[in-house]
A and B are shown apart, each in its own frame.
Chain A
């Protein structure tokens, strides 16, 4: 029967098994590769990976810096600034589009169009408009996530029931209070959901841009080391990126649960 429930412990066991299979599969691939070519670095063995980690954590002989530290600082700055501008801008625009029809009429066509343009394809546009330093990355990430987020928030605001809107006015609310104290508070959990969905794309834009431009950052390091076939550095970087994305998502879920304790119950209904 479809949707037949399974015991919770089976869920845990199967989850662990799948991760183990992943790791064993990788070990096997690496082993096969090293049998063909003992000095291979494209599918590193576990000891080579350990060396790779050491390489990125220790002070590099030539540049005098720790790769992990400088790359993290550079990428994190770009990502967080880009996310900040994109999220705040997208949220405010979406909120006002949903609340005021003339703003919606002004922006829906342009937002819908812009949402379809892949920011990575428009890199040259950003070079020209904003230069090639940190502002370029920030602009690219922000413009990458802003239209989609604005449309998402706009649609969530449209779902706010008319009845509650009218009721707020009969309770003596001003227009500002209607937008801030009722619509915003009801739409907030959906904003979190929309932001969670944009973390992935934001990371993609960041890494893609860093691969093309720049001399520091995760994207730059991964591309350079990939070209040198130093996959023992690349794999740990990928793992860090994955862990970071996971933590961001988890952090946002916790924040959502903290600020909107009512949402779980409402969703289940």
Chain B
């Protein structure tokens, strides 16, 4: 698979690139030859069978468990291309649980990002008054962001006082206030009830709308999102591009003795939904069936590359 050159990377405004990514733990081979380019403004949803390595891929991108083989590149806030080795402020993350710091209120949780990033502990002590001013500004920004997300009444609540849906909303705000190059979500709504999940999916669609508005004004799209989910409907509803990661591929046909790990078998566009419109999952039935057959079926190993046809 040809790796994109520096030029095309800038042309297509690629935010994240995985090049021949592989991951294994001892004898356990998890990921194999992952090649992926995510452009600015895309909402990429990753689906796959349980345990195929979706979360492993996400952790490699975050940088907490770096990949053993291959490289991951990300364009940071200043536009420099960097290799991913450790977590950084250019990749925001929202986890399924333990999403907020329990010892801070909602507004403090959202404000902690800029405080941690822009100040140091000695700076907060010796430049106390300047820090106090800065903190006030950040808290106001946090209040504005949370109010926009419908949490204006919960600014001073602690996570233990909030519902699961509220907590995930605050966690998304906490990540977004940092304006990361890419926002990563690891099955963020898995622990929530159906109605709350719907609300939060609409929230992500709202972010996509903001992207569209920015594109219309010729401004770079602000939100690039990478979401791991086990819910096929959610992936197709929220994402504008769906990836299928699976270990059920035709490695025998390529001459290998054993499965070297999961790889991307499916990469196609998904329809774009209006957050205020109907959730019509009927229209997704054909694509759902296609993905199920290609990605989730152990009985029918899919050859690689054939269904990796996404183009922006």
> Which residues from chain A sit less than 8 Å from chain B, CB to CB?
161-164, 166-174, 176-177, 180-182, 185-186, 188, 260-263, 265-266, 268-269
Residues of A within 8 A of B99 (CB): 163, 167
- 22 A-B pairs within 8 Å (CB atoms) are namely A161-B97, A166-B62, A166-B93, A168-B116, A169-B64, A169-B87, A170-B91, A170-B92, A170-B178, A170-B180, A171-B116, A171-B117, A171-B174, A172-B117, A173-B116, A173-B117, A174-B120, A180-B121, A260-B103, A262-B103, A265-B161, A266-B159
Residues of A within 8 A of B24 (CB): none
Q: Nearest-CB distance from B284 to chain A (Å)?
A: 31
Partner of B95, one of A163, A168, A185, A269: A163
Q: Is the CB of A176 within 8 A of B121?
A: yes
Task: Apart from A167-B174, A172-B118, A265-B158, list 17 A-B contacts with CB within 8 A.
Answer: A162-B64, A163-B97, A166-B93, A167-B93, A169-B64, A170-B89, A170-B93, A171-B112, A171-B178, A173-B117, A174-B120, A177-B121, A180-B121, A262-B102, A262-B103, A266-B102, A266-B160
Q: Is the interface of A mostly helix, strand, loop or mixed?
A: helix
Of A176, A177, A182, A188, chain B has the most CB atoms within 10 Å of the CB of A177
Residues of B within 8 A of A164 (CB): 98, 101
Residues of A within 8 A of B159 (CB): 266
Q: How far is the CA of A174 from the CA of B119 in the complex (A)?
A: 10
Report if B271 contacts A (CB, 8 A).
Answer: no
- Nearest chain-B residue to A259 (Cβ)? B103
Flag B101-137 by CB within 8 Å of A: 1 or 0 each: 1111000000011101110110000000000000000
Q: How far is the CA of A172 from the CA of B179 in the complex (A)?
A: 12
Residues of A within 8 A of B190 (CB): none
- Nearest chain-B residue to A263 (Cβ)? B103
Residues of B within 8 A of A168 (CB): 116
With contact pairs A163-B98, A180-B121 given, residues A268 and B160 touching in the complex (Cβ less than 8 Å): yes
Q: Is the CB of B121 within 8 A of A166?
A: no
Q: How far is the CA of A161 from the CA of B104 in the complex (A)?
A: 16
Of B86, B113, B180, chain A has the most CB atoms within 10 Å of the CB of B113
Q: Nearest-CB distance from B131 to chain A (Å)?
A: 13
Q: Is the CB of A170 within 8 A of B101?
A: no
Q: Nearest-CB distance from A243 to chain B (Å)?
A: 33
Flag B173-209 by CB within 8 Å of A: 1 or 0 each: 0110010100000000000000000000000000000
- Nearest chain-A residue to B177 (Cβ)? A171
List the 9 closest A-B pairs by CB distance, nearest first. A172-B117, A169-B87, A265-B160, A161-B98, A171-B113, A163-B98, A172-B89, A173-B116, A163-B95
- Nearest chain-A residue to B92 (Cβ)? A170
Q: Is the CB of A166 within 8 A of B64?
A: yes
Q: Nearest-CB distance from B98 to chain A (Å)?
A: 4
Residues of B within 8 A of A163 (CB): 95, 97-99
Q: Nearest-CB distance from B18 to chain A (Å)?
A: 18
Partner of B113, one of A172, A185, A186: A172
With contact pairs A163-B97, A177-B120, A265-B160 given, residues A169 and B102 touching in the complex (Cβ less than 8 Å): no
Q: Nearest-CB distance from A122 to chain B (Å)?
A: 38
Q: How far is the CA of A251 from the CA of B160 in the complex (A)?
A: 25
With contact pairs A161-B98, A171-B113, A174-B120 given, residues A166 and B103 touching in the complex (Cβ less than 8 Å): no
- Nearest chain-B residue to A174 (Cβ)? B120
With contact pairs A164-B101, A168-B116, A172-B116 given, residues A181 and B89 touching in the complex (Cβ less than 8 Å): no
Q: Nearest-CB distance from A257 to chain B (Å)?
A: 13
Q: How far is the CA of A37 from the CA of B238 in the complex (A)?
A: 90
Q: Is the CB of B101 within 8 A of A186?
A: yes
Q: Is the CB of B160 within 8 A of A170?
A: no
Q: Is the CB of B117 within 8 A of A269?
A: no
